[in-house]
Structure 1
Amino acid sequence: MKGSNCYRLLIIIVVVCLKDRWLVCGADPTDGFSEVPLTDENFDLQKPFNIPLSRRYNDSDGIRSFWVYTNDKPFKPDSGTRPRTEIRIKGHDYSSGIWQFEGYGFVPKGTSGVTIMQIHGASEGATTLQLRIYDGDMRYYRYNLVATDLYDKWFRLNVIHDVGKGKIWVFIDGEEKFVVKDQGPGDLYFKCGVYAAPSKSSNFMESRWRDIKLFKK
């Protein structure tokens, strides 16, 4: 009887620990998710409208490199946004369910004041998540610290968005680093690359990405 009670207690503890958490006992953030097939058609590239893509983007040996200057033009002539060179993952917009972005990112030292990954769409405002690099640290917009010391190294980024719960989880190298409420429902999609922050961006901004994937459950 004692053994049976201990077993029940263990189950209760596990259930409590799993509540609103995605990583327990060494599990991978993608466990329980199904990969969404992506082709080149799903990668819509945005860059300063007045220059060729090759001057701000390179794809070689599976590594996509994005760069932009703080005085570059926006991605279209009638836009009032800051300059960017980004991938917008198209064909998999979502407004419900549980979705996950995964990619391996690299940010060279000196790049600062730049969004390297975002979830576009929200009930108010343009985005529900922006992950920015400031002096080698990753922040939620310009506020909460997510991770530190990310310059000049490859890191694995996983972002889970549970639309029904209105929550977002951010993982670096498989470790949960940040949880936040989203910005409400909308036509949602993932982006990565470089998008200059409203202020204090470095003159030159670069990020590199490989093995970009989407998952859902």
Structure 2
Amino acid sequence: MTPPWDQCLCGADPTDGFTPVPSTDENFDLQKPYDKPLSQRYYYSDGIRSLRVYDKDKPFKRGSGTRQSTEIRIKYSTVVDDYSSGVWQFEGHAYVPKGTSAVTIVQIHGAAEGATTLQLRIYHGNMRYYSYNLVATNLYDKWFRVNVIHDVGKGKVIVFIDGEEKFVVNDQGPGDPYFKCGVCRTSYV
């Protein structure tokens, strides 16, 4: 079922009408610094996935021009890694320790122009769309829920924090999008 995005959500849960995809190892492609064992950057215990990255870490593959990251690329089935139509949603809970800054925690890869359609970055405890628009404030040292809905047909992306709509933006054009979450170093503002 596709939610009626032309109508007001009026307090509805952003997951209403969506079919959940289980979070299993088959749905994840873990990326981490190429020279570190996964166990030094990724931990899974009691239902919580912890991902870490440090200033001196290498990129996820040798020769890559990307910054340091430990991320989960979400796959939708064992056959399909990305999507090109429909309405898709990412949901996760995040905890960003005080002092962490200039990191991307959720992104939609794939766009007509550029590598990504969306990046949600943390700068000094605040969430921004890339380094521009302010999405949410005061996010250090507490758990918060993040929902990102991508309506490919309408070219819209909607961001919710703790169930509250915070930001709506046009996507970056057609591509082969997929969601990633974790921690990826980015430039300072």
Gaps of at least 5 residues in structure 1 are 1-17, 202-217
Q: 1:21-170 to 2 correspondence within 5 Å?
A: 23-24=9-10, 26-90=11-75, 91=77, 92-170=81-159
What is the CA–CA distance in structure 1 between the aligned matches of 2:23 and 2:57, rounded to whole Å?
A: 30
Q: Give, in angstroms, the shift of residue 39 of structure 1.
A: 2.1
Question: What is the aligned-residue RMSD (CA, Å)?
Answer: 1.5
Contact kept in structure 2, 1:23 and 1:175, CA below 8 Å:
no
For the Cα contact (< 8 Å) 1:29–1:174, is it kept in 2?
Answer: yes
Give the residue type in structure 1 aligned to 2:41: R
The TM-score with structure 2 as length reference comes to 0.92
Rg: which structure is higher? 1
Give identity over the alignment, percent: 75
1:58-92 per-residue CA deviation (whole Å, 9 max, x = no partner) reads 11111111111122110000211101000011234
**Structure with the higher fraction of residues in helix conformation:** 1
Using the alignment, how far apart are the partners of 1:36 and 1:61 within structure 2?
19
Size of the aligned set, in residue pairs, is 182
Larger RCO (CA under 8 A, 6+ residues apart): 1
Q: Which runs of 4+ in 1 moved over 4 A?
A: none
1:96 Cα offset (Å): 0.5
Give, in angstroms, the shift of residue 21 of structure 1.
Answer: 5.0
What TM-score, normalized to structure 1? 0.80
